């Protein structure tokens, strides 16, 4: 029995380009849909909530809006020093994304943007020089806005073609530097931020969702095909936002409902790992009048090009309640009354992470698992130049303990990416106030501040965890 974290375990951290880099100033020809996300002056509880399936971003500039993601933390200018801090923390892996709209501003260009290539050339070089394995996401909510307008985002087959051209360029250029590739961040989120589909145009919104999802499935397999021809050592993975939920009660009705609700999440990993649509989705498609348009060879492409690893983000769990929740809404779930929650209403459930790891391992026994996001968002207070974030340490520690328990169960967990090693703009609410980092960045929601980096208590704690390969969790 394995009793410790595996040798060569990838202890790392993760960010996203659209939340950190501050590339907007360099974009002249086109922007991503994330560039239009904005932070409200007074955030409500709903503003801070997780994405909803059919919410849309207005792809127009409104001068009075606070487009915080356009600034990020100016990582584009500071990555040299920031990566040195991450080296000091001991990170063995660093996950980030390539901003598709920086490389191909509209998605329609024949040639990539030289300025973007220069940036990623240097960034990946320095990640490696600082002793970290780059784990690169090709699409992390950075869909060129032009493709959303022109082709209805991923609903249009044309977007798939544009993406494959972008992916082939990136893999061809960087396959000697980057071993691990994630095609889509949290592919099962299937919302506007991920798909760029203007849902208000569609009478059957669910059909539009799954049409876009199908195109992303094919894109994943085509990326795998490209990678296999370039270098058989490349690892191409899919990534989920873990949404496995507990039954609200032990009533048989709730147990069955929860099973069927969770199947809507397993669809995404089943197609990626098993290479085919699962039988349980046929009834769901029929009952919701969903008809997916496919090319003749799509299903064969999926079958022939399955993913090399499964990664997922994990923050909280909810419950499936047959009396409150709808089966055809993959996002809406009920709160768990037995769990404490963060200030943002996210239930804290370390045991749920072990459950997820064991569930995925049972379902896909020969595929390595990687946790590519896990962390605690909170309001950090600077006291005499220090940040005593014991709450973050406690959260991460309890989740690492459950990862170790899963490893003892025989689960092949190859890496853990902390979200985040450094403060960045929050994804769902576009605020800086919700901080995840072990390194504090002195900016507020409106970009005011010195930008100074300050090591939090969690910085030194995570450094010790890595140095001891998880033997000292403090």
For the domain that residue 213 is a member of, what is the CATH number?
3.20.20.80
4 part of a folded domain: no
pLDDT digits 0-9 by tens, 238-262? 999 999 999 999 999 999 999 999 9
5 part of a folded domain: no
pLDDT digits 0-9 by tens, 107-127? 999 999 999 999 999 999 999
Give the total number of structural domains in the chain.
1
Average pLDDT for 262-266: 94
Q: Where are the alpha helices (DSSP H) in 56-99?
A: 68-71, 75-89
What pLDDT was estimated at residue 44? 63
Q: How far apart are CA 446 and CA 439, in angstroms?
A: 19
Please give the residue that has the higher pLDDT: either 40 or 351. 351
Nearest to 298 by CA among 184, 190, 224, 222: 222
Which residue range is the domain that position 72 belongs to? Answer: 10-467
Give Cα 112 to chain centroid, integer Å. Answer: 24
| Partners of 428 in the β-ladder | none
Q: Which residues of 76-92 are buried (b: 16+ CB within 10 A; e: fewer)?
A: bebbeebbebbbebbbb
Is pLDDT above 60 for 195? yes
DSSP code, position 61? -
pLDDT digits 0-9 by tens, 144-187? 999 999 999 999 999 999 999 999 999 999 999 999 999 999 99
Average pLDDT for 127-136: 98
pLDDT confidence band for 12 (50 / 70 / 90): very high
pLDDT confidence band for 433 (50 / 70 / 90): very high
Side-chain half-sphere of 152: how many Cα atoms within 13 Å?
15
Average pLDDT for 338-359: 91
What pLDDT was estimated at residue 325? 83
Tokens at 384, concatenated: 């005499």
DSSP code, position 66? B
What are the DSSP E strand ranges found in 177-287?
Answer: 180-184, 235-241, 246-247
In terms of pTM, does the model score above 0.85? yes
Question: Residue 424, class by beta-carbon neighbours within 10 Å (0-12 exposed, 13-18 middle, 19+ buried)?
Answer: buried
Is pLDDT above 70 for 84? yes
316 part of a folded domain: yes
439 part of a folded domain: yes
Contact assessment for residue 372 and residue 311, using Cβ atoms and an 8 Å cutoff: yes
3 part of a folded domain: no
pLDDT digits 0-9 by tens, 25-76? 999 889 999 999 998 876 665 555 555 555 678 888 899 999 999 999 999 9
Region for residue 164 given its phi and psi (left: phi exceeds 0; alpha: psi -120 to 50; beta: otherwise): alpha
301 part of a folded domain: yes
What pLDDT was estimated at residue 48? 55
pLDDT averaged over every residue in the chain: 93
What pLDDT was estimated at residue 462? 98
224 part of a folded domain: yes
pLDDT confidence band for 284 (50 / 70 / 90): very high
29 part of a folded domain: yes
Cis peptide before 140 (omega within 30 of 0): no
């Amino acid at each position: 029995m394995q009793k410790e974290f595996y040798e060569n375990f990838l202890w790392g951290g993760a960010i996203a380009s659209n939340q950190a880099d501050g590339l907007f100033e360099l974009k002249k020809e086109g922007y991503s849909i994330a560039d239009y996300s904005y932070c409200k002056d007074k955030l409500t509880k709903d503003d801070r909530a997780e994405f909803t399936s059919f919410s849309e971003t207005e792809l127009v500039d409104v001068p009075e809006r606070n487009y915080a993601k356009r600034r990020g933390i100016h990582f584009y200018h500071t990555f040299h020093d920031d990566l040195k801090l991450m080296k000091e923390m001991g990170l063995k892996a660093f996950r980030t994304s390539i901003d598709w709209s920086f490389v191909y501003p509209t998605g329609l260009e024949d040639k990539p943007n030289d300025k973007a290539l220069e940036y990623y050339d240097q960034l990946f070089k320095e990640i490696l020089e600082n002793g970290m394995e780059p784990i690169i996401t090709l699409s992390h909510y950075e869909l060129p806005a032009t493709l959303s307008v022109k082709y209805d985002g991923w609903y249009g087959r044309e977007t798939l073609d544009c993406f494959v051209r972008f992916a082939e360029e990136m893999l061809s250029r960087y396959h000697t530097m980057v071993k691990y590739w994630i095609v889509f961040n949290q592919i099962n989120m299937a919302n506007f931020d991920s798909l760029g589909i203007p849902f208000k145009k569609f009478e059957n919104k669910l059909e539009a969702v799954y049409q876009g999802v199908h195109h992303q499935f094919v894109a994943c397999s085509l990326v795998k095909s490209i990678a296999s021809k370039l270098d058989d050592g490349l690892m191409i993975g899919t990534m989920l936002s873990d949404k496995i939920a507990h039954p609200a009660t032990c009533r048989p009705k709730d147990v069955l409902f929860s099973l069927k609700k969770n199947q809507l999440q397993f669809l995404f990993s089943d197609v990626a790992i098993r290479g085919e649509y699962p039988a349980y989705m046929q009834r769901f498609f029929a009952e919701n009048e969903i008809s997916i348009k496919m090319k003749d060879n799509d299903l064969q492409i999926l079958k022939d090009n399955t993913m090399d690893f499964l990664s997922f983000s994990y923050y909280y769990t909810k419950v499936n309640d047959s009396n409150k929740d709808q089966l055809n809404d993959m996002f809406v779930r009920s709160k768990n009354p037995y769990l404490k929650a963060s200030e943002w209403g996210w239930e804290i459930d370390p045991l749920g992470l072990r459950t997820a790891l064991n569930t995925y391992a049972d379902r896909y026994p020969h595929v390595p698992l990687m946790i590519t996001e896990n962390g605690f968002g909170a309001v950090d207070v600077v006291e005499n130049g220090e940040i005593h974030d014991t709450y973050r340490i406690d959260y991460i520690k309890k989740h690492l303990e459950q990862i170790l328990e899963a490893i003892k169960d025989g689960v092949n967990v190859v890496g853990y990416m902390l979200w985040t090693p450094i403060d960045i703009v929050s994804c769902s609410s576009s605020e800086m106030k919700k901080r995840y980092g072990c390194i504090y960045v002195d900016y507020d929601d409106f970009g005011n501040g010195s930008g100074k980096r300050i090591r939090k208590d969690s910085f030194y704690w995570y450094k010790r965890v890595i140095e001891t390969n998880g033997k000292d969790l403090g």
